[in-house]
């Protein structure tokens, strides 16, 4: 029996298999509000056969968007727009749905990728950014504003409010974004956090604000699965690394974390990454072994046999697909065919299945 296609639970949420769709920004929202693009995009992915669909990085306040076109969940308007998408998706799919709640910090206010990226100046609709310390992401960028206590309180409250909105929408799980150089990751790394108060300096202090955000969200939605995505290393000497990630994961477990989604990088343009198939899996394996948290591995996992081996060998409890499932939205169907497993396929598509091929539930 394929281990990749066995059921698995993250906290109270039972999943039909070990395949997650990683959150992938679509840069297609209107003032934070989901649009018809999201309806088509998530409707499509909801029939992929994956065990969990994680909605893209969703800003908890307008200033936390990576770009002006980012999805948000900070107001009744953004909540209602996302609710319209979810209602349509759920009318035709039973796939469990999570959402990644995020704040971009100093990496906010950027052009969308297909417009070249880079900071959007205020004259073009951009906004000042915030961070743990007044250190820009790129040397030629304006320095972000270092968050004071009032700012920290505002951001924490925004995460809590967004989590409560997600719960009202019936979302099944929340993933807090502490990876890829965004705000919570900025607090973790000594490269971006050079504060001299209780939130900076020692590892204990650098963990303090991300742990406070997690604890507040966990308390606000006690019946939901709540996990986190981290970058296990900055890939920069003297930065955040896997040893510190293990300590963070152990602290998260004590706070009731239901899963940890292990990525890497994104904090510094000085990062040196050797990319290859499954290049982040060893990071996930170590964090899983030393923290005991249910762990999702991600990063160039492209083949069914590769994904099966990761789960079957205990390197991770689940695998997540990102670019690969954008390229092939039926990847789980094809993996099930190869591994002799079953996935949920809508009856409208049954005539497309190979004979012999995947079996439907």
Q: Distance between CA 331 and CA 273 in Å, rounded?
A: 26
Q: Dmax of the chain from CA atoms?
A: 65
Q: Is 327 a catalytic residue?
A: no
Contacts of 1 (CB under 8 A, 6+ apart): 341
The residue extents of the domains of the chain are 8-360
Runs of H (alpha helix) within 123-197: 149-168, 183-188
In the set 27, 182, 279, 349, the catalytic residue is 182
Q: pLDDT by residue for the chain (361 residues), tens digit each?
A: 899 999 999 999 999 999 999 999 999 999 999 999 999 999 999 999 999 999 999 999 999 999 999 999 999 999 999 999 999 999 999 999 999 999 999 999 999 999 999 999 888 989 999 999 999 999 999 999 999 999 999 999 999 999 999 999 999 999 999 999 999 999 999 999 999 999 999 999 999 999 999 999 999 999 999 999 999 999 999 999 999 999 999 999 999 999 999 999 999 999 999 999 999 999 999 999 999 999 999 999 999 999 999 999 999 999 999 999 999 999 999 999 999 999 989 989 988 887 655 566 6
Q: Distance between CA 229 and CA 19 in Å, rounded?
A: 16
Whole-model pTM: value is: 0.96
Q: Are 162 and 74 in contact (CB under 8 A)?
A: yes
For residue 263 the two structure tokens come to 């990525």
CATH class of 8-360: alpha beta
pLDDT of residue 122: 86
Q: Are 22 and 298 in contact (CB under 8 A)?
A: yes
CA dihedral 239, 134, 161, 74 (to 10 degrees): -110
pLDDT of residue 356: 52
pLDDT of residue 152: 98
């Amino acid at each position: 029996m394929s281990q990749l296609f066995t059921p698995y639970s993250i906290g109270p949420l039972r999943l039909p298999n070990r395949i997650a769709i990683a959150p992938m920004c679509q840069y297609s929202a209107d003032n934070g509000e989901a649009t018809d693009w999201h309806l088509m995009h998530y409707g499509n992915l909801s029939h992929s056969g994956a065990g969990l669909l994680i909605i893209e990085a969703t800003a908890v306040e307008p200033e936390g968007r990576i770009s002006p076109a980012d999805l948000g969940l900070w107001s009744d308007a953004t909540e209602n727009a996302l609710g319209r998408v979810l209602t349509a998706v759920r009318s035709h799919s039973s796939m469990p749905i999570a959402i990644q709640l995020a704040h971009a910090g100093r990496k906010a206010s950027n052009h969308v990728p297909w417009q070249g990226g880079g900071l959007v100046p205020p004259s073009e609709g951009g906004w000042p950014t915030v961070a743990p310390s007044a250190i820009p992401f790129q040397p030629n960028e304006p320095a972000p504003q270092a968050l004071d206590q009032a700012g920290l309180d505002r951001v924490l409250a925004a995460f809590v409010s967004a989590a409560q909105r997600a719960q009202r929408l019936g979302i099944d799980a929340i993933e807090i974004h502490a990876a890829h150089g965004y705000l919570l990751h900025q607090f973790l790394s000594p490269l971006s956090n050079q504060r001299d108060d209780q939130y900076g300096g020692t590892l204990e202090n650098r963990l303090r604000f991300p742990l406070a955000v997690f604890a507040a969200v966990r308390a606000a939605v006690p019946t939901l699965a709540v996990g986190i995505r981290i970058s296990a290393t900055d890939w920069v000497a003297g930065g955040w690394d896997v040893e510190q990630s293990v300590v963070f994961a152990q602290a998260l477990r004590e706070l009731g974390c239901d899963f940890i989604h292990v990525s890497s990088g994104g904090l510094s343009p000085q990062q040196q990454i050797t990319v290859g198939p499954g290049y982040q899996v060893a990071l996930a394996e170590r964090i899983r072994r030393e923290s005991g948290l249910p762990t999702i591995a991600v990063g160039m996992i492209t083949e069914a046999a590769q994904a099966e081996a990761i789960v079957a060998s205990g390197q991770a409890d689940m695998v997540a697909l990102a670019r690969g499932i954008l390229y092939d939205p039926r990847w789980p169907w094809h993996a099930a065919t190869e591994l002799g497993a079953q996935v949920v396929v809508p009856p409208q598509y049954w005539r497309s299945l190979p004979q012999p091929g995947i079996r439907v539930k």
